[in-house]
Structures are given as C-alpha cells and as structure tokens.
Amino acid sequence: MTAAETLPRWPGDSRAACAFTFDLDAETLWMARGVHEPVTLSQGRFGPVEALPRILAMLEKAEVRASFFIPAWVASHYPEAVRAIAKAGHEVGCHGDEHERVSDLDPKQEEAILTKSLETLTPLCGRRPVGWRAPAWQLSACSLDLAAKHGFEYSSNMMDRLVPYRHPEAHGRALVEIPVSWVLDDAPFFMFTGQRSIQAPGPVLQGWLTEFDGITEAHGVTNFTFHPQIIGRPSRLACLREVLDHVKHTPRVWTAPLAEIAAHWRNTQQP
Ligand SMILES: [Zn+2]
C-alpha cells in the first residue's frame, strides 16, 4: 500500500476538512460546577442572548454552516435560539441536559438524559439530531454504546486522531468519531473561573491558525470548538472572524457541519 492510498478521502478535490462547532451551554456551564450565583450565571446567559445573534450573522456572511451542541436545559429555556440556529441551516446536536458529566452517572440516568435531549431538540429543530458530544468531553464506560443504541451517527469527543474513524460496531451501528482537541477549544484559554488570568486573543488566534494549517497539511479534520458565551466577547469575535477568513482563503478545504463530515466518512467506507 502506498502512502497516498492511506490518506483520507474528502469530497471533490478537497485535501482536508474543517468544522466550526459551538457548544451553547449558557448557564449550564456554571450550574454543572455547582454555581448558582446570579452574576456568574449571567456570563452564561450572554451566550444565547448577546453572542449568538452576532455569531449567526458572522457565519451567514462567511457562508459557513456550523454544528451547535445544545444541552436540553438550554433548549427549554431558549427555544427561540435553537429555532434560529436550525432555521439558518446549521446542525443541532445533543449535549446532555444540565451539562452534567456523564462519567458521574449510572447507565439508567445517562440513557434518560439522552432520551430527554432527543425529545427536547427534535421538535425545535424539525429534525432528529444525529450527533452527540458529551458535556466537558467526559464519557462513561457505556456512553458510546448508548449513543449507538439511540441511533446517533457520530460522536465528537475523542482526542486520539487528526482524522475521523469508526468505533467498533454496537447495536448494528459503528459510530463515526470526529475527534476534537483542547487546543482548538476557546474555554482553556479564555474561560475565567477566578483562578488564573485571561489570555490575550492574539497569541491564541495565532495558535489556532497554525493548528489548522498543520491539520490541513496532514489531510485531517480541524474541529474548532467554541462557546458563544466565551468567543462572543467582541475581542474574541474578532478572532473568530479571522479564523473564518483564513479557512475560507485556504485552498481545497471542505468546510461542513459534523453531520455531513460523518455521513461522508460513512458513505465512502473509510475505516
Ligand atoms: Zn459544553
């Protein structure tokens, strides 16, 4: 087998893929940490109320369709936000109920949350979500089995590859994994919990662009993970705009929602 035969195959003449994903955690990001203090929670509310409309406008201008992962609690409290996301042609995926860490739950609780999440999001988006991302990217021993059982197409949680891959088959379905990375996430750099200082946007932007260039050279998938409440501050929205520009001006990169990347991977029967 030659090296070329082992390279991932992307649509048309694309050499790599890129996805813009947003975890609309709102207040649940803080509730899951046991915080119920109003000012801290208001940082979460900034996401759906103030940041989301600006992000949607920016994506529309860039002609990029993204994936939004939304906890059921957030969908129930901000149904108009979910409708606006779906109406703009973006994908909506499941992301727990109150951003609980499924690694702390027993399998029955975890399955109940998965079911609730599907029942809450499906009518708001007009279609059943096919993607699942665990809150805080922490899985239990049965998470992937439950996702397969409930008909999901893909998981976007693992950090072991630069390319998608298939999980072992369970319930007659091999979930496609579209890997993520903390380095492509805004929270480790910008989320302020009172314990360390906030990083300046410029160096973080430079890191993201270099990471994207490297993954593109490796023919992989760059899976950006942003949080509207974090990336939505004006100084960071400027970063997002630069990232969108850079990706759009890089030749032969396929930008798509994760659902389409997963479907491509499955349809082209890549391992
Ligand atoms: Zn989250």
Q: Span 86-92, mean pLDDT? A: 98
- CA of 219 from ligand 1 middle (Å) equals 27
pLDDT confidence of residue 268:
95
Statement: residue 233 has pLDDT above 60: yes
Euclidean distance between CA atoms 117 and 75, whole angstroms: 9
Specify the pTM.
0.96
Q: For the chain, what is the mean pLDDT? A: 96
- CA of 218 from ligand 1 middle (Å) equals 28
Euclidean distance between CA atoms 45 and 35, whole angstroms: 14
Statement: residue 1 has pLDDT above 50: no
pLDDT confidence band for 6 (50 / 70 / 90):
confident
Euclidean distance between CA atoms 78 and 25, whole angstroms: 11
Question: What would you measure as the largest C-alpha separation in the chain, in angstroms?
Answer: 59
* Local structure of 257: helix, strand or coil: coil
How many other CB atoms sit within 10 Å of the CB of residue 138? 13
| Model confidence pLDDT, tens digit, residues 121-172 | 999 999 999 999 999 999 999 999 999 999 999 999 999 999 999 999 999 9
Residues with CB under 5 A from ligand 1 (ion): 23, 25, 135
In CATH, the number for domain 13-267 is: 3.20.20.370
- CA of 135 from ligand 1 middle (Å) equals 5
Bridge partners of 170, per DSSP, are: 173
- What is the full DSSP assignment across 125-162? HTS---EE--GGG---TTHHHHHHHTT--EE----S-S
Euclidean distance between CA atoms 178 and 210, whole angstroms: 20
Euclidean distance between CA atoms 163 and 221, whole angstroms: 6
Tokens (6 digits) for 210: 């270099």
- DSSP code of 50? I
Tokens (6 digits) for 202: 């410029």
Statement: residue 218 has pLDDT above 50: yes
- CA of 166 from ligand 1 middle (Å) equals 23
Contact predicate 110/142, CB 8 Å: yes
Name every residue whose Cβ is closer than 8 Å to that of residue 5 and which is 6 or more positions away in sequence: none
Strands 221-226, 16-23: pairing kind:
parallel
How many other CB atoms sit within 10 Å of the CB of residue 247? 21
Q: Where are the domains of the chain?
A: 13-267
Euclidean distance between CA atoms 157 and 23, whole angstroms: 12
| Model confidence pLDDT, tens digit, residues 31-64 | 999 999 999 999 999 999 999 999 999 999 999 9
Q: How far is CA 180 from CA 136, 137, 155, 222, in A?
A: 12, 9, 10, 8
- CA of 91 from ligand 1 middle (Å) equals 16
pLDDT confidence of residue 196:
82
